[in-house]
Structure 1
Amino acid sequence: MQAFIQGVGIGGSLIMAVGAQNAFVLKQGLKRSHSLPIAGLCSLIDALMITAGVAGLGHLILAFPLIKDIASIGGAIFLLVYGAKALQSSFIPHSLGDETSKGTDTLKAAVLTTLGISLLNPHLYLDTVVLLGSISAQFEGSDRPMFGAGAVLASFVWFFSLSFGARYLSPLFQKPKAWCYLDRFICATMWTIAGVLIWPYLF
């Protein structure tokens, strides 16, 4: 149980950090747009990455830095474009009613965006496969998969809580200004992460 609890604590602390994935899940949760599949997909991706890390695949990423380079550059471009769209949206007055009724976000678009934000972010691989994988190496026998199970549970609880808990903020987002601030926050988050990803390749 100690390994499981440590997995929940360490995994949860990594997952809950403000990032592109969390910002996207929050916005879609507020819009009540495909909340279940988005939360499920994010949790599934994390579960697969954590399992891979516990199984020892983190050494593969460290051995082939080209994987990280491709993900970093591709992820930065993706986040810059997504951030620009969020910034553009912040100048268009809209309320929660507009967002939930216009129905422009298809399930396919939501799934592809979730995959892009998740899989093109090298921090996903570094945090789950490499970092959690390295920490799990200190456990022996059945304790190692228990540590991974705890981290996976933390991921599922977080993403579903964030996605479905966002609706409790609905009264605040009836105001157009609130959406303006959220879109600009998302833009700042996306561009900051993109900058961090691409900075080492500029200098």
Structure 2
Amino acid sequence: MVILEFLVQAFIQGIGVGGSLIIAVGAQNAFVLKQGLKRAHSLPIAALCSFIDAVMITAGVAGLGHLILAFPLIKDIASLGGAAFLLVYGAQALRASFNAQGLDTDSTQGADTLRAALLTTLGISLLNPHLYLDTVVLLGSISTQFEQQDRHMFGAGAVLASFVWFFALSLGARYLSPLFKKPKAWCYLDRFIFVTMWSIAAALLWPYVKAMMG
């Protein structure tokens, strides 16, 4: 009975901690939201985001975070590559905001190919070092406070939070479709995505700029 209580407690903590990290506004969430509004392969995108998180969280609980901390070059490559990717994607969103049109769900379905959507999802996810820091390093470090069996339950809770969030965001976006039939709403969303992408890119590049200046 005591063992079951600890397992449930670890699972609930995993949901809480994992959810708080995943729900934070970021490049991945902004992309999932936009594709959900367009109804363009939103469910495969949500599934891929959830799968990536599940793999990373499992790796973190298994102890891979220590490897990332031991080799800073991995973080440098992800930071620079991710910043470049986000700058380009953000610029595209800004350009689109000046040509915003009302959302037509009939014409937007399938507007992007599945391959392009999934490749963009992989880029936004895997080229963002915050993915590794949040899931592998941070969640992995927090999981060490639990015993082996409890640690797995903590990881399972975090994985569940990821699946629930991405599918809820993707499916819930459809209820906002009436609002985004107005061009101005779509314009604001694209500019929000631009600010989000460039802010994250600036945060990734700032340590390197600071080091060059110092």
* Contact 1:33–1:100 (Cα < 8 Å) also in 2: no
> C-alpha separation between the residues in 2 aligned to 1:123 and 1:189?
14
Quote the residue 1:101 is aligned against.
Answer: 107
- The unaligned stretches of length 5 or more in structure 2 are 1-7
TM-score, normalised to structure 2, is 0.93
* Contact 2:40–2:111 (Cα < 8 Å) also in 1: no
- Provide the secondary structure at the position in 2 that maps to 1:94: coil
C-alpha RMSD of the superposition: 0.8
Does the alignment pair 1:49 with 2:92?
no
- Provide the secondary structure at the position in 2 that maps to 1:96: coil
> C-alpha separation between the residues in 2 aligned to 1:201 and 1:16?
27
1:186 alignment partner AA:
I
- Provide the secondary structure at the position in 2 that maps to 1:142: helix
> C-alpha separation between the residues in 2 aligned to 1:95 and 1:70?
38
How many residues in Structure 1 have an aligned counterpart in Structure 2?
A: 202
From 132, 135, 149, the counterpart of 2:142? 135
Does the alignment pair 1:162 with 2:169?
yes
- The unaligned stretches of length 5 or more in structure 1 are none
Distance 1:53 1:125, change over 3 A: same
> C-alpha separation between the residues in 2 aligned to 1:52 and 1:200?
26
C-alpha displacement at 1:100, in angstroms?
4.8
Q: Compare CA radii of gyration and give the structure with the larger one.
A: 2
Quote the residue 1:195 is aligned against.
Answer: 202
* Contact 1:31–1:100 (Cα < 8 Å) also in 2: no
Quote the residue 2:3 is aligned against.
Answer: none
Does the alignment pair 1:70 with 2:77?
yes
Does the alignment pair 1:23 with 2:23?
no
> C-alpha separation between the residues in 1 aligned to 2:207 and 2:63?
27
2:151 alignment partner AA:
R
C-alpha displacement at 1:95, in angstroms?
1.1
Quote the residue 1:186 is aligned against.
Answer: 193
TM-score, normalised to structure 1, is 0.98
- Runs ≥4 in structure 1, deviation > 3 angstroms? none
